[in-house]
Structures are given as structure tokens and as C-alpha cells.
């Protein structure tokens, strides 16, 4: 009998593999195709609080897979409290949260992580920390009768998430004011220089990023996506996030680090309103990433965890606020 982890991991893996396989057929397709500066198409609940990290990634891919009209999700109980019904046959998707607590080494008494942090250093030595993951099941608004029950609210939500990109003049390139200000003032954690060249890279030895000139890219989004990718690499060094395998040169760890950087740039792009595509030189890794995820589901979770940390690092440095929505535990996963 499959454990809760195995059941949910299978859904996560299948969704991620399906996304990567679609990119392998067209690697110039954005990781997140619904992104633009007006839409802010971030998975969230009815109050507008956004999901974060791995949940944001996976719910976003789910929205694209089923072409949901909004990225708004809620649990069965939340739907019931809103006075709406989940449609017959609708299948929920799991979201997960890692929670921490502490147990006394002698009595096995359990206390919350907040209580543990209030203890003195000596008192903390008497406890051992533990982490556990809780899963909750959520439905998209498209899987409910929300539009029928609240037509005015539905119209407002659709308008919020259906804004189209503003056309740019042929000779103009997309401009991102946040990244432009960072570049102008050299406010990133390491120097970023642009030179006339045909490659972009992060140098560990010099702790610096080198990019081709913006004018050398086919569009502005490609320039910023590449910059975010290299910024993602720069978060992995010892004095920052000290990412596992970052300093290893073998094929597996190199490929893993490239996937982490791809996902960091993709999620950071969502926060900044930039459609980020797979870098051309990484298109060859797509199949190997799928293989690694299929063979070991935990690989996906470790990669997502590192990508989440990297994107949060960037967001915090750029003063982008990220909210986390916690939902109540829910048993209902399918409506008969």
C-alpha cells in the first residue's frame, strides 16, 4: 500500500515531468507561459494571499495544464464556507507544508518550534528538533460553481488575471525597472558586468557575473532571464546558501545545479513579471532531468527546495514581498 508521501509525490513528479517533456519539444517555450507584468498570475487563495515555493511551482504548472482562468485555489472546506460547491468529478491537487517541532530527550514531551526558540541555549540542548510534512488538498475555482454563484466577483477575478501584454515598439526592448536599478547601482551580492561576448557565466573564483550586452539578446526578457539564471548560481556559494553539490564538477551535480538555476530564474521571473525560457545550452539536459525525477522522486523535492531558497534570496534582496498561505487540513480529494 502506498504511503501518503508516495501518493502525493507521484502527482508532483508526473506534473513536473510532463512540463519538462513539453519543454523538450519546444525549449523556447517559457517555463511559465501565463506571466506578464500586468497579470501577476501567482497561485493564491480567495483573499489574494499567494502560495510560495514548491507549491507555487506546481500549482502554476497545474494552471497551465488545464488552462484555468485564474490561479485561485481553495480547499473543500473553504469552498463550503464560501457557499459554493466543488463540481462533480473534480479531482484535488495536494499542497504541502514542512512543519517543525521539538521533543524533550528524556520525557519525549513535544513543544512547538516557536516555544523551542524561546528557550535558552542550554535548555535547547535538552530537546531534539524534528520536521514533518503535512499535505492538504486544493481545488481551482474553475472546479467549482463560483462563477455561477458570484458572477460579479468572478468577473473581477477574471479581469485581474487576463490582462494582455502591452505591445512594444519594434525597436524597443522590454525593460524591468527593478533589475535595471539593481544593475545601475550594482546592488546585487556580487558584481555584474555586461560586455560584448557570446556567453554568460558566474565565476566562482571571482564571485562575479558576466553577461553579453542587452542589445545582443533577441528580446529584453531573454536578457533578464539569463541574468536571473546567473544570479541563481551566485546564491549557491558557501557564504550565501552553501548549496549541496555546488562545488562538484561531475556531470550529475553540474546538471542538477543547472536545473536549480533554471527554476530559480523561472520563479524569480514570475515575481518580476518576466517570461523566462530554458537557456539554449540547457535544452540538452531536459531528458536527463526527467530521467532523474522519474527514478527518484525525492530528487525533485531537493531541487525544488534549493530553487525556493534561491528565489527567496533574490526576492528578499530586491525587496519583493512573498506571502505564504496555510490551509486547513482536508480529506476530500475527489467529488463523486
Give the CB-side neighbour count of residue 34, counting CA atoms within 13 A. Answer: 22
Average pLDDT of 315-322?
A: 80
Position 171 scores a pLDDT of 44
Residue 278: count of CB within 10 angstroms of its CB: 24
Instruction: State whether residue 197 is helix, strand or coil.
Output: coil
Residue 134 pLDDT more than 90? no
Average pLDDT of 137-166?
A: 88
pLDDT band at 298 (very low <50, low <70, confident <90, very high): confident
At residue 176's C-alpha, the angle toward residues 174 and 177, to 5°, is 135
Q: Are 330 and 8 in contact (CB under 8 A)?
A: no
pLDDT band at 127 (very low <50, low <70, confident <90, very high): very high
Better-scored residue on pLDDT, 97 or 239: 239
Q: Return the biggest CA–CA distance within the chain.
A: 71
CA distance 218 to 308: 28
Bridge partners (DSSP) listed for residue 97: 134
Q: Are 234 and 314 in contact (CB under 8 A)?
A: no
Average pLDDT of 294-320?
A: 86
Better-scored residue on pLDDT, 205 or 293: 205
Residue 77 pLDDT more than 90? yes
Residue 149 pLDDT more than 90? yes
Position 53 scores a pLDDT of 65
Residue 138 grid cell:
486544493
Position 321 scores a pLDDT of 63
Position 257 scores a pLDDT of 93
Average pLDDT of 247-272?
A: 86
pLDDT band at 169 (very low <50, low <70, confident <90, very high): very low
Position 167 scores a pLDDT of 45
Per the prediction, the chain carries an average pLDDT of 83
Give residue-wise pLDDT tens across range 265-287. 888 887 787 878 777 777 667 77
Average pLDDT of 48-64?
A: 82
Residue with cell 556559494: 237
CA distance 43 to 58: 9
Residue 166 pLDDT more than 70? no
Amino acid at each position: 500500500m502506498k504511503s501518503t508521501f508516495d501518493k502525493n509525490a507521484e502527482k508532483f513528479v508526473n506534473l513536473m515531468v510532463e512540463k519538462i517533456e513539453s519543454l523538450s519539444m519546444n525549449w523556447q517555450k517559457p517555463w511559465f507561459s501565463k506571466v506578464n507584468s500586468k497579470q501577476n498570475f501567482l497561485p493564491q487563495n480567495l483573499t489574494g494571499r499567494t502560495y510560495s515555493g514548491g507549491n507555487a511551482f506546481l500549482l502554476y504548472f497545474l494552471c497551465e495544464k488545464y488552462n484555468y482562468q485564474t490561479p485561485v485555489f481553495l480547499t473543500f472546506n473553504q469552498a463550503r464556507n464560501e457557499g459554493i460547491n466543488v463540481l462533480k468529478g473534480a479531482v484535488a491537487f495536494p499542497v504541502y507544508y514542512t512543519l517543525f517541532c521539538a521533543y524533550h530527550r528524556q520525557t519525549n514531551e513535544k513543544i512547538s518550534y516557536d516555544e523551542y526558540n524561546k528557550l535558552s541555549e542550554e535548555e535547547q540542548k535538552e530537546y531534539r528538533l524534528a520536521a514533518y510534512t503535512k499535505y492538504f488538498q486544493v481545488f481551482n475555482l474553475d472546479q467549482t460553481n463560483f462563477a455561477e454563484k458570484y458572477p460579479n466577483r468572478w468577473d473581477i477575478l477574471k479581469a485581474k488575471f487576463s490582462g494582455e501584454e502591452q505591445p512594444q515598439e519594434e525597436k524597443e526592448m522590454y525593460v524591468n525597472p527593478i533589475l535595471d536599478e539593481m544593475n545601475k547601482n550594482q546592488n546585487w551580492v556580487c558584481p555584474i558586468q555586461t560586455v560584448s561576448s557570446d556567453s554568460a557565466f558566474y565565476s566562482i573564483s571571482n564571485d562575479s557575473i558576466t553577461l553579453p550586452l542587452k542589445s545582443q539578446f533577441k528580446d529584453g526578457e531573454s536578457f533578464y532571464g539569463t541574468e536571473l539564471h546567473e544570479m541563481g548560481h551566485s546564491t549557491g556559494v558557501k557564504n550565501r546558501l552553501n548549496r549541496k553539490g555546488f562545488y562538484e564538477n561531475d556531470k550529475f551535480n553540474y546538471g542538477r545545479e543547472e536545473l536549480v538555476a533554471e527554476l530559480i530564474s523561472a520563479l524569480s521571473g514570475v515575481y518580476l513579471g518576466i517570461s523566462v525560457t530554458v537557456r539554449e545550452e540547457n535544452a540538452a539536459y531536459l531528458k536527463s532531468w526527467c530521467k532523474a525525477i522519474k527514478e527518484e522522486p525525492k530528487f525533485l523535492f531537493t531541487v525544488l527546495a534549493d530553487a525556493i531558497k534561491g528565489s527567496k534570496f533574490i526576492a528578499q534582496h530586491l525587496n519583493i514581498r512573498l506571502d505564504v498561505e496555510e490551509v486547513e487540513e482536508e480529506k476530500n480529494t475527489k467529488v463523486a
